[in-house]
Amino acid sequence: MKSPDTQPVRFLSSWAGKANPFIEASWKNVLMGKAPISELNTMADKINKVISEAK
């Protein structure tokens, strides 16, 4: 998880703007070893909530 290269992940769906802040807050920290991997589950839960509300 401590990759020297990190690439951004972007969603293109209508809910992307609302999901992106969760990615920015969690993904990079996990990749850099600053947050536990379990943070990805929390991030996924938040993104799934945004997706379900967009339906």
Asked if 6 and 34 count as a contact pair (C-beta separation under 8 A), the reply is no
Q: In the prediction, which pLDDT does 14 show?
A: 80
Q: Would you give the end-to-end CA distance of the chain in angstroms?
A: 33
Q: In the prediction, which pLDDT does 54 show?
A: 84
pTM greater than 0.85 (yes/no): no
The 3 state secondary structure assigned to 1-13 is CCCCCCCCCCCCC
Please list the pLDDT of the chain residue by residue as tens digits (55 residues).
577 777 776 656 788 888 888 888 898 899 999 999 999 999 999 999 998 998 7
